[in-house]
Structure 1
């Protein structure tokens, strides 16, 4: 598994397909969090939203690194197609963890906040929740499921917009509503933990669906 993750990292670095989603993330962070003040939960909701969009795009890019022939070679070399899929998910998650550090501390650098360890923990929960959901959407909307890129793009946009704007929809919209209306981070830790568990379940379910569809096609 470690070798597969290293292979995925080296390939994405060589092709530079990470640049567009990472630049989008930093751009959104600059627009949404510069010169902020007051309670931190709304600022971290913005950071999580930026990471949500970035993780979706980045995962789709990672899932598209190899063409059909190269993927077949990698699958045969690794022994199981599921290992290849999990390696891509692991690469996306590690990348998002690195971006989370920026998402946690950039608002503190450019804004005026009174930060506590509880605030940082809430920010980590929120960003990890959105990263997991974004990775799940990216996996499901990859070419392992959709052979035509146009269909994959429409599906990804629909799922992203639904997760962001469907009122009360857990985990993303529900989490953002809680963070926008509650200024006490301590009160949000338990609900945010619940949203994180839902996000992990969504990722597991979408991964299982993607693997099932890919195995049938291959």
Structure 2
């Protein structure tokens, strides 16, 4: 699994497909955290929503790098689709964790205030959003959707529903609570639990469907 992760990390870096998502996310953080006097929890809600989009983008970009022939070679060397999907998810998880640490560090350095409770909320918010973004990106990738136009459409629709749909109890309640200053304890637990369940569920279903198609 680690060998597959290193391979995918090198593949992603060489392709430079991470650059649009990375630059867009950093631009959002620059705008959000430019004012040292701003309360940090609402900012965590907004940047957490941006992390959801970035993780989805990276997942799709990574799984769409290889053409069908290269993918068959990778599957043969890795020992199965479960290892390739797991390696891709670990790669995106590492990238998301790095961006999360940069975001949290930035939020502390700018006002030079260290609040452990707020940092914990920010960490869990960004990681939950990253996991859910990966779970959304898997079924939108080339594993199931062969045309880039349909991939973009499916990803935009799913991200819109998850971020804006008040009836979807995933990360929307948490982002809404943080940005509005409401109680966030329950929504935070819900977001963490659903994201932890969503990733293996999505990987299992997508892997099974991809094997059936091949």
TM range (shorter): over 0.9
**Residue aligning to 1:200:** 196
| Within-5 A mapping of 1:68-217 | 68-110=68-110, 112=111, 114-182=113-181, 188-189=184-185, 191-217=187-213
Deviation at 1:170, TM superposition (A): 2.1
Structure 2: segments with no counterpart, 5+ residues: none
**Residue aligning to 1:35:** 35
Q: Which runs of 4+ in 1 moved over 4 A?
A: none
Is residue 2:15 matched to residue 1:18? no
Task: Tell me the C-alpha RMSD between the 2 structures.
Answer: 1.7
Q: Is the 8 A contact 1:168 1:174 kept in 2?
A: no
Output the CA distance in 2 between the equivalents of 1:22 and 1:191.
Answer: 27
Output the CA distance in 2 between the equivalents of 1:82 and 1:125.
Answer: 26
Deviation at 1:31, TM superposition (A): 2.2
With structure 2 as the length reference, what TM-score do the two structures score? 0.93
Q: Deviations over 1:114-173 (max 9, x none)?
A: 431111110001001110111111111001111111111100000111111112522221
User: Cα 1:169–1:33, aligned 2, differ >3 Å: closer, same or farther?
Assistant: farther
Q: Is the 8 A contact 1:33 1:47 kept in 2?
A: no
Q: Match of 1:169, SS? A: coil
Output the CA distance in 2 between the equivalents of 1:170 and 1:26.
Answer: 27
Output the CA distance in 1 between the equivalents of 2:106 and 2:49.
Answer: 14
Q: Is the 8 A contact 1:40 1:113 kept in 2?
A: no
Q: Is the 8 A contact 2:139 2:202 kept in 1?
A: yes
Aligned residues: 214
Output the CA distance in 2 between the equivalents of 1:30 and 1:81.
Answer: 38
Deviation at 1:189, TM superposition (A): 4.4
Output the CA distance in 2 between the equivalents of 1:190 and 1:114.
Answer: 26
Q: Is the 8 A contact 1:55 1:96 kept in 2?
A: yes
Q: Is the 8 A contact 1:48 1:130 kept in 2?
A: yes
